[in-house]
Amino acid sequence: MNINDIELNWEQPKGSNVIKRAEFQFDSFDICADIVFDHYADISYLGEFTDKYSPEAIEVPDSGPRDCKYFIPAIPIKETIDYYVKEGKSLDEATELANEQALSYLYRAKDLGVTWNMIGILINVSKHGIKLGFNSIYGIEDDISDDELRNLVLDCVSEAIEDAKKNLAKLCECK
C-alpha cells in the first residue's frame, strides 16, 4: 500500500484541544494525526500592525482604543506598483492593484481568529503502544482545501514514519 492511498477519517475528540483527529495503521505502525490550533501564529507574511506611522503604513479602519492604528503590508506598496508596471500595467492600474493587495493583507490579518485561524499538524507514530516517531508543522491557514491539508498530513506522516523506523532500529540493536 502506498501512503497516498490512505483514507483519512477525521473525528472530533471530545474534551480535547484537538480540532480533529485521524487514527490509522500504515507499514505496521499506529499513526495518530491531530489538527490543532496554532496559538502562536506568525502572520508576518501578511504584514505588521503598529502604532507608529511610516510612509508605507495604512491606517486601520474601525480600530478601537486597544487596537493598533496602522498596518504595514509585508510587501511594500511601492514595490508592488513597480512589479505591476513591469508586467505592463499602467501606473494608475498598478497603483490600484497594489492598494487592493495591501488592503487584502490588512483585512486578512485583522480577521485572524474571527473568520479564519492558523492550525498545526501533529503526528505521532507508535508500535505496540511505544511512541517511536513524531513530526509537526504549524502556520497553516485553516481555510486551505481538504486536498492540500491531506497532502500536508501525509507528508508529515511519511517523515514521522522514517523517524520511527530509525528509532525502532536503534531499539533492536540493544542486547
Q: What is the pLDDT of residues 95-132, one digit of tens each?
A: 999 999 999 999 999 999 899 999 999 999 999 999 99
User: What pTM was computed for the model?
Assistant: 0.84
Using a CB cutoff of 8 Å and minimum separation of 24, what contacts does 61-70 make? none
**CA–CA dist 50, 40 (Å, integer):** 18
Which of 144, 157, 148, 116 has the alpha carbon at shortest distance from 31? 157
Q: What is the pLDDT of residues 50-94, one digit of tens each?
A: 999 999 999 998 876 668 899 999 999 999 999 999 999 999 999
Model pLDDT for residues 21-61, shown as the tens digit of each residue: 999 999 999 999 999 999 898 999 999 999 999 999 999 98
> Residue 105 phi/psi, 5° resolution?
-65, -45
